[in-house]
Structure 1
Amino acid sequence: MTEGEKSRLVAWADELRSVHARLRNALAVTQEALASGAPAQAASRELLLFCHGFCVALTEHHEGEDRQLFPAIGEAHPELRDVLRKLEQDHSMIAHLIGQLQAAASSSEPRETLARHLEGIAAIMESHFRYEERQLLVVLQSLSLDIEPSRVLGPL
């Protein structure tokens, strides 16, 4: 294996950690926008702006994993198929929670309601990210998938 091939393989694990860090940061910025103390209507508008960026990024990350990364891992590591199914179930649950948050923000729900939605997403997202990293980082260091990691996991 050449040094370039090894770097490309390790890039998958590094990229996953990097994307998770960016999504955690985007969620924190969204939560800070809500907690800013602005009037409820202004908070809802600001949350919609931040939520749109965060929600789209998280959704695209999960869709890329479901569409390209997980099938490649499942083929190379059939013993991980149950893990991949659980991660896909998490993706579905998070998508549902994001939909509820977007609906609540669009209908100008009270700040406390919006905060509860964000807390729920944060809790599931963090649990999901930690589980995914525990289960897949080592595998990602040896994954040979002929596509740039950022195209699957999300842009830098």
Structure 2
Amino acid sequence: MTDRETARVVAWSEELRRVHARLREALDVTRDALQEGTGAADVSQDLLLHCHGFCAALDGHHQGEDRTLFPAIEAAHRQLAPVLRALEHDHSMIAHLLGELRAAIDRAAPPEELHSHLEGVAAIMESHFRYEERQLLTVLETLELRAEAAEVLGPL
């Protein structure tokens, strides 16, 4: 294996950390948009803009993992199947919460309700990221997966 190939293999753990960091930053920007709004209409417009980016990025990340990363991990590490099913379940739950957030924004829900939806997404997202990192970072350091980062971890 060449140095370049080794660097790509080892880089998956770093790529995952970077994607998670960017998603955390996008969540913070979205939270800030909610805090800075002066009324329900202002909050909804700002959140609509920020949520589209944040929600699309988080959805894309999870779709990439489900479609490309998790099958590659399972093929190399069958013993991780229960962990991967738990992570996929989290993805489904987070997608549902994002849908509820989008619906609340679309109907111009009051800021308190939007805040509640956003904090629910944030809590599950953070718990999911920490579990995923604890379970998979070591595996990702040796995973042989030849694919573009956006295909594997989403377009961030």
Question: TM class, shorter-chain normalised?
Answer: over 0.9
- Can you give the 5+ residue segments of structure 2 that lack an aligned partner in the other structure? none
The answer (yes or no) to whether the contact 2:10–2:141 under 8 Å persists in 1 is yes
Matches within 5 A, 1:9-24: 9-24=9-24
Q: Which residue of 1 aligns with 2:64?
A: 64
Moved >6 Å (runs of 4+): none
Residue aligned with 1:35, SS:
helix
CA distance in 2, matches of 1:149, 1:143: 13
Structure 1 stretch 128-137 or stretch 143-152: which is displaced more?
Answer: 143-152
Task: Confirm or deny that 1:43 pairs with 2:43.
Answer: yes
For 1:121, the aligned partner's letter is V
Counterpart in the other structure of 2:77: 77
Pair 1:145 & 2:145 matched: yes
**1:113-147 CA deviation, whole Å, 9 max, x = no partner?**
00000000000000000000000001001111110
Letter of the 1:60 partner, please give it. Answer: G
Please state how far the C-alpha of 1:2 moved relative to its aligned partner: 2.0
Could you tell me which amino acid in structure 1 is paired with residue 35 of structure 2? A
Q: How many residues align?
A: 156
Normalising by structure 2, report the TM-score.
0.97
CA distance in 2, matches of 1:138, 1:6: 15
Structure 1: distance between partners of 2:155 and 2:103:
26
Q: How far apart, in 2, do the equivalents of 1:49 and 1:56 lie?
A: 11
Distance 2:152 2:49 in 1: 24
Residue 149 of structure 1: CA displacement?
Answer: 2.1
| Partners of 1:148 and 1:12 in 2: CA distance | 11
- 1:105-144 equivalences in 2 (<5 Å): 105-144=105-144
- 2:10·2:140 contact (CA, 8 Å) conserved in 1? yes
Matching of residue 32 in structure 1 with residue 37 in structure 2: no
Change (3 A) 1:58 1:47: same
In structure 1, stretches of 5+ residues that fail to align are: none
Is this contact kept in 2: 1:64–1:153, CA < 8 A?
yes
Cα deviation, 1:54-89, whole Å, max 9, x if unaligned, reads 000000000000001000100100000000000000
| Matching residue's letter, 2:59 | T
The CA RMSD measured in Å over matched residues stands at 0.9
- Taking structure 1 as the reference length, the TM-score comes to 0.97
- Cα contact 1:15–1:150 (8 A) shared by 2: no
